[in-house]
Structure 1
Amino acid sequence: MKRVPKILVALLALALPACGLKPLYAGGANGPVASSLGQVEIAAIEGRAGWLMANALRDRLGEGGTGPRYRLDVRLDDSITGLGIRRDDAVTRERRSVRARYQLVDLADGSVVLDATAGSDAGIDVVQSEYATIAAENTALERLSLIVADEIVARLALYARANPR
C-alpha cells in the first residue's frame, strides 16, 4: 500500500477552505442559524401524528430567549396503504406515508416567508397478530415523524442562513 506524502496532505488541507463549504451551524448554539431556529414557535398540529411531529420539531428547534419571531404552520397527511395481497384478499404488506406541508410565517407582518413540503414512507409487514401489526404501524409513525421533522428543520436552517437578521 502506498503512503501519501505529507506535503500532499498539507496542500489538500490548505485547499479545503477554498471549496466554498460553510458550516450550517457555525457558532454553535449562539450562532445566527441556531438563534433563528430558536425563535420559531410551532402552531398546533391535529391528531396523534401532529402531536408527535410538534414534539419532534420542538426538540430540534430549541428555545430562543427573545421570544418567537416566526410561526411554523404544519398540515400533515398520514396514510396507510395495503400493498401485498394474498389470494384470499388479505393484506400482507402496508406502506405508511407521512407528508407535511409547512409554512414559515413572519409574525411581524404575517407574510409567508417559506412554503414547502416534506415526507417519508415506511414499509410494514402485516402479521397474524393484530397487536403486532398495530404496534408496527405506531412505531412507523413515530419514526416517520422524526424523519420528516429533520427534513423540515434542515430546510428552516437553510432559510435562516440565507436570510440572516
Structure 2
Amino acid sequence: MRKLLPLLLPLALGACGLTPLYSGSTAGPVAATLAGVEVAPIQGKSGWLVANALRDRLAAVGSGPTRYRLTVTLDDQIVGLGVRADDAVSRERRTLRARYQLVDAVQGTVLVDATAGSDAGIDVVGSEYATIAAESSALERLSDTVADQIVARLALYARRTQQPAR
C-alpha cells in the first residue's frame, strides 16, 4: 500500500480544483489579455525601469493587438532611518509605490485600479559612490518587484473575467 500511495497522490491533487493561471499557453485567456496590454510612458528613472520591466514581462507572454492601456504613477522616496552620534544618517529606506490603472483602449473605461509597492533597506557607508550605487541597485530590485506585482494582478483580473479560448 505504501508503494501505491505516491502514485495516487497526483490524482488527488487534480481533483482539488486548482488550475494553472497561465493554462492554455499563448492561446489561453490570461496570455491573450496580457499580450494586448500597452504600457504608457512613466516619468523619471524609476518610471523607465518599471516600464521596461513591465514590457519585458508582458512580451514574454506573447504579442497581440493592443486592447488595453496600462498607466502607472510612481512615488519613489528615500528616508533616512538610523542616525549616528555625529547626526549622519547610517541607514535609509527606499520605498517605491505604484498606482496603476488598466484601461480599455476602445471604450476608455478603467478595468483595474490598484496599487503595488515594495521597500528596501540601504546601508549608508563612508563612500558616497557606494551609497549612490546601493540606492540605484535597490531601485532596480524594487522596480522588478513592483512590475511582478502589477503583472500578477493583471493576470488574476484576466483569469476572472475572460472566457477560455475554444
Q: TM-score by structure 1 length?
A: 0.93
Aligned length: 161
Give the letter for the 2:39 counterpart: I
- Aligned mates of 2:35, 2:10 — CA distance in 1: 34
- Report the CA distance between 1:29 and its aligned residue: 2.6
- The unaligned stretches of length 5 or more in structure 2 are none
Give the letter for the 2:156 counterpart: L
- Aligned mates of 2:22, 2:101 — CA distance in 1: 22
- Aligned mates of 2:100, 2:14 — CA distance in 1: 34
- Aligned mates of 1:41, 1:17 — CA distance in 2: 35
- Aligned mates of 1:17, 1:156 — CA distance in 2: 25
Q: How does 1:1-165 map to 2 (within 5 A)?
A: 5-62=2-59, 63-65=62-64, 67-164=65-162
Give the letter for the 1:59 counterpart: D
SS at match of 1:58: helix
**Cα RMSD (Å) of the superposition?**
1.2
- The unaligned stretches of length 5 or more in structure 1 are none
- Report the CA distance between 1:122 and its aligned residue: 0.5
* Greater than 4 Å deviation, 4+ residue runs: none
- Aligned mates of 2:151, 2:43 — CA distance in 1: 19
- Aligned mates of 2:76, 2:3 — CA distance in 1: 54
Identity %: 68
SS at match of 2:91: strand
My pick for the range that moved more, 71-80 or 12-21, is 12-21
- Aligned mates of 2:150, 2:72 — CA distance in 1: 10
Q: TM-score by structure 2 length?
A: 0.93
Deviation string, structure 1 residues 96-143 (Cα, Å, up to 9, x no partner)? 000000010011211101011000000100001000000000000011
- Aligned mates of 1:83, 1:36 — CA distance in 2: 42
- Report the CA distance between 1:32 and its aligned residue: 1.9
- Report the CA distance between 1:46 and its aligned residue: 0.5
- Aligned mates of 1:13, 1:60 — CA distance in 2: 30
SS at match of 1:19: coil
- Aligned mates of 1:29, 1:78 — CA distance in 2: 34
- Report the CA distance between 1:64 and its aligned residue: 2.0
SS at match of 1:68: coil
